[in-house]
Amino acid sequence: MAQENASHKVPGKNKNSKAAKEKRRKDKEVRKAEEDARNKHLNIQDRKTRKRMKKNRKMTQAKHDNKKELFLKRWFSKKQ
């Protein structure tokens, strides 16, 4: 009798893990498709355009990194 209970699985647990695994698989496929589309878009461009895109991406990132926090976050954050 003890062996019967040991081999018995919890109902619903397997469904949940299958659903989670399926969701992770779909998310991975979506990320891969987006990355492939991004690479295809870059490969279509000529060299000058790719360089311009890279330059603009770097400039945008530099401007974004230098921004202040939202004033509400600054006002209501804990001071050290």
Q: Decide if 8 is inside a domain.
A: no
Q: Decide if 60 is inside a domain.
A: yes
Report, as an integer, the average pLDDT of 45-57. 96
pLDDT of residue 12: 58
pLDDT of residue 75: 92
Q: Is the pLDDT higher at 15 or at 52?
A: 52
Mean pLDDT of the chain: 87
d(CA 38, CA 61) in angstroms, rounded, equals 18
pLDDT of residue 5: 55
Report, as an integer, the average pLDDT of 10-35. 87
Q: Which DSSP state fits 12?
A: T
Total domains in the chain come to 1
Q: Which DSSP state fits 11?
A: T
Q: Which domain holds residue 28?
A: 13-76
Report, as an integer, the average pLDDT of 71-78. 90
